[in-house]
Amino acid sequence: MDFFPPVVDDPYSFGAIAAANALSDIYAMGGDPLMAINLAAYPDGLDMSAFSEILRGGAEKVREAGIAIAGGHTVTDKEPKYGLAVTGLVHPDKIIAKGGAQAGDRLILTKPLGTGVITTALKRDQAAPEHVAAAVTSMSRLNRAASHLARQYAVHAMTDVTGYALLGHAHEMAHLSLTDFHFQFSALQWLPGAFDYADRDTFPGGMWRNHDYFSQWTVFHPSIPEPHQHLLYDPQTSGGLLVAVAADQAESLLADLLSAGETAALVGNITAGEGRLHISA
């Protein structure tokens, strides 16, 4: 279940993004969604056409996932909010947990990073329209195809990258797996404009909360500028899947992801450890 206030101005896009974000929890465990329930809050007196567009965006994204919205609940609030409670199905023996990563695995990330700084720039009226459009496209994309391909390769561990940012969710995986993750910063994929907004310190407050907590397990190469380090603590909305896969299958999985239209990349490797994160240049 996930719901949150608007991250973009267009109501339809907000609905689609919120739905994709909620559905991702099911895909990240290797499951398939069965049904969804709307969760919405809307202020009294605000134009109802915007609310209709939010619900339409969510409904069409849910339809794209191959399921239906079976009902929902709406309350009055000072700020619009929208999301879904999603029920899914996965065989108990086929759940892809966060804690199954193994030393020797390689790491694949399936979407570019940068949604936090871009949507924050939008809220401050500082975002270029083309940067917002690229971020909306990425956030609206379902993790459905990526999850299905990951299952075909029997990946060892997987999570979606959302509010705890890349490093927060990576730490969860590494800690639960008794491993360390090693990322190559230059291998990471970025949305257009992400570095520009980072260099202007256009970060949401959640970046600092992530930094304050997860930095204790993180070591950056000193050549990586501090604003670019902060990008890895930047909360993401409807981010991609971080996948730990056996080294001898990583290139084949990556090729299949790219063929399916995913913006995927090999971004690191895994060693035995205790949940630490190492980021090289």
DSSP 33-93: EEEEEEEEEE-TTS-HHHHHHHHHHHHHHHHHTT--EEEEEEEE-SS-EEEEEEEEE--GG
Q: Are residues 22 and 144 in the same domain?
A: no
The distance of Cα 189 from the centroid of its chain, to the nearest Å, equals 13
> What is the DSSP secondary structure assignment for residue 136, as one 8-state letter?
H
Q: Are residues 66 and 142 in the same domain?
A: no
User: Which two three-digit tokens encode residue 222?
Assistant: 């000193």
Q: Are residues 8 and 72 in the same domain?
A: yes
Query: pTM of the prediction?
Result: 0.96
Q: How far apart are CA 196 and CA 114, in angstroms?
A: 10
What pLDDT does residue 203 have? 97
What pLDDT does residue 225 have? 98
* Residue 212 CB contacts under 8 Å (≥ 6 apart), including other chains: none
- Residue 48 phi/psi, 5-degree rounding, is -70, -15
* Residue 54 CB contacts under 8 Å (≥ 6 apart), including other chains: 11, 12, 14, 15, 18, 40, 80, 82
What pLDDT does residue 77 have? 93
Q: Are residues 264 and 188 in the same domain?
A: yes
Q: Are residues 242 and 217 in the same domain?
A: yes
Q: Are residues 112 and 12 in the same domain?
A: no
Looking at the structure of the chain, the number of domains it has is 2
What pLDDT does residue 3 have? 85
Q: Are residues 55 and 102 in the same domain?
A: no
193: left (phi over 0), alpha (psi -120 to 50) or beta: left
What pLDDT does residue 11 have? 97
Q: Are residues 150 and 229 in the same domain?
A: yes
What pLDDT does residue 150 have? 97
pLDDT along the chain (281 residues), means of 10: 92 98 98 97 92 97 97 94 97 96 98 98 98 98 98 96 98 98 98 98 97 98 98 98 98 98 97 98 97
What domain range includes position 135? 96-280
Q: Are residues 52 and 134 in the same domain?
A: no
CATH classification at residue 131:
3.90.650.10
What pLDDT does residue 2 have? 87
Of 59, 93, 127, at which residue does a domain stop?
93
Of 57, 76, 93, at which residue does a domain stop?
93
Q: Are residues 110 and 237 in the same domain?
A: yes
Q: Are residues 60 and 87 in the same domain?
A: yes
Q: How far apart are CA 241 and CA 275, in angstroms?
A: 18
Of 93, 125, 148, at which residue does a domain stop?
93
